[in-house]
């Protein structure tokens, strides 16, 4: 419980901060105290960048990664249009692959996985947009890089069926990432092995 010894506005800040992932009330209080002592400029810059996040960040109209332009930096780079398209669940997974620096093509962010029990079907993901890209862009290989969880596997399987009739190389990342694992928590070497060890499934 946040004690009443704090002024109301400080209590409110602690409550809001404590909702952030990885922060409990203790660390929220520590951050609030830090902001209280920090100079006004620094605090205003932080507040402005949080506000800008919601005002300016949108999704790329081609791949659905986060961007503040119509196209993200990867889609806007002609050198990345090399025919390889890597399909990931989330922008966090895309960023993990990018930080590892192991893939030089373009991406498609599904914004989730199929989860019929939670009511998430193909129409809730960016699958229609993926199929349209395959018709429009000169893509020769699709790498299915959904996570090796049961939902990720089911989504990869669904996508394989959806593109089966096309003349297209389809591969699935394979080695290195353990079952139940998550790309964004996987180290660079393991990601690299998973990408190199991808197997053709069409
Ligand atoms: Zn993009």
Per-residue pLDDT of the chain (202 residues; tens, 9 = 90+): 667 788 999 999 999 999 999 999 999 999 999 999 999 999 999 999 999 888 999 999 999 999 999 999 999 999 998 899 999 999 999 999 999 888 999 999 999 999 988 999 999 999 999 999 999 999 999 999 998 788 888 899 999 999 888 889 999 886 567 767 788 887 776 787 677 777 777 7
Question: Token digits for 103?
Answer: 């893939």
Task: Based on the fold, state whether residues 50 and 101 are members of the same structural domain.
Answer: no
Residue among 136, 143, 157, 156 at smallest CA distance from 94: 143
pLDDT of res. 31: 96
126 C-alpha to ligand 1 centroid (Å): 13
Q: How far is it, in rounded angstroms, from Cα 134 to Cα 137?
A: 6
- The pTM assigned to this predicted structure is 0.74
What pLDDT is attached to residue 1? 62
CATH number of residue 146's parent domain: 3.40.1360.10
13 in a structural domain: yes
End-to-end CA distance of the chain: 56
How far away, in angstroms, is 81 Cα from ligand 1 center?
11
Q: How far is it, in rounded angstroms, from Cα 189 to Cα 59?
A: 29
Tell me, letter by letter, the H, E, C secondary structure of 113-148.
CCEHHHCECHHHCCHHHHHHHHHHCCCCEEEECCCC
Do 18 and 76 fall within a single domain? no
174: closest CA among 156, 148, 154?
148
CA of 4 to the centre of ligand 1 (A): 48
Residues 149 and 93 in one domain: yes
CA of 134 to the centre of ligand 1 (A): 15
Please indicate, yes or no, whether residues 50 and 76 belong to a single structural domain of this protein. no
Q: In this structure, is residue 67 part of a structural domain?
A: no
Pairing verdict, β 84-88 and 66-67: unpaired
Task: Count structural domains, the chain.
Answer: 2
Q: How far is the CA of 67 from the centre of ligand 1 (A)?
A: 8
Residue 123 lies in a domain: yes
Residues 35 and 110 in one domain: no
pLDDT at site 29: 95
The CA distance from 67 to 118, in Å, is 28
Concatenated DSSP letters of 28-59: HHHHHHHHHHS-HHHHHHHHHHHHHHHHH-EE
* Long-range Cβ pairs for the range 47-54 (8 Å, 24+): none
Say which DSSP state 158 is in: H
> Which pLDDT value is given to residue 186?
79
> Does residue 62 lie in a domain region?
no
Helix (H, G, I), strand (E, B) or coil at 87: strand
Question: Are residues 92 and 150 located together in one domain of the fold?
Answer: yes
Q: Looking at the structure, do residues 84 and 113 belong to the same domain, yes or no?
A: yes
**Centroid of ligand 1 to alpha carbon of 78 (angstroms):** 12
Q: What is the pLDDT of residue 142?
A: 95
> CATH no. for residue 45?
1.10.8.420
172 lies in the same domain as 91 = yes
Judge whether 43 lies within some domain. Answer: yes
- What integer pLDDT is reported at residue 94 of this predicted model? 96
Residues 46 and 94 in one domain: no
Please give the distance, rounded to the nearest whole angstrom, from the Cα atom of residue 131 to the centre of ligand 1.
15
61 in any annotated domain: no
Question: What's the pLDDT score for residue 175?
Answer: 58
Q: What is the pLDDT of residue 2?
A: 67
CA distance 146 to 86: 9
Same domain, 183 and 112: yes
**Has residue 37 been placed in a domain?**
yes
Give, as residue ranges, everything with CB less than 5 Å from ion ligand 1.
60, 62-63, 65, 72, 75
57 CB burial (10 A radius; 0-12, 13-18, 19+): exposed
Ligand 1 centroid–CA 72 distance in Å is: 4
Asked whether the beta carbons of 118 and 172 are under 8 A apart, the reply is no
Distance from the alpha carbon of residue 65 to the mean position of ligand 1, in angstroms:
5
Strand-pair partners of 82: none
Which domain does 187 fall in, by range? 72-200
> What is the structure's pLDDT at 172?
87
33 and 108 fall within a common domain: no
Whether residue 173 sits in one domain with residue 85: yes
């Amino acid at each position: 419980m946040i004690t009443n010894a704090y002024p109301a506005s400080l209590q409110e800040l602690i409550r809001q901060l404590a909702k952030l992932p990885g922060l409990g009330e203790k660390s929220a209080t520590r951050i609030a105290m830090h902001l209280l002592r920090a100079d006004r400029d620094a605090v205003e810059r932080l507040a402005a960048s949080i506000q800008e996040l919601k005002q300016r960040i949108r999704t790329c109209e081609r791949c659905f990664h986060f961007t503040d332009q119509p196209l993200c930096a990867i889609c806007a780079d002609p050198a990345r249009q090399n025919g390889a398209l890597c399909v990931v669940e989330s922008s966090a997974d895309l960023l993990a692959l990018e930080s590892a620096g192991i893939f030089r093509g373009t991406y498609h962010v599904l914004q989730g996985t199929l989860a019929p029990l939670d009511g998430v079907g193909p129409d809730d993901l960016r699958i229609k947009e993926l199929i349209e890209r395959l018709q429009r862009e000169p893509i020769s290989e699709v790498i299915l890089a959904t996570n090796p969880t049961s939902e990720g596997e089911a989504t990869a399987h669904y996508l394989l069926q959806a593109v089966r009739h096309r003349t297209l190389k389809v591969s699935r990342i394979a080695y290195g990432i353990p079952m139940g694992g998550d790309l964004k928590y996987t180290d660079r070497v393991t990601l690299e092995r998973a990408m190199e060890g991808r197997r053709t499934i069409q």
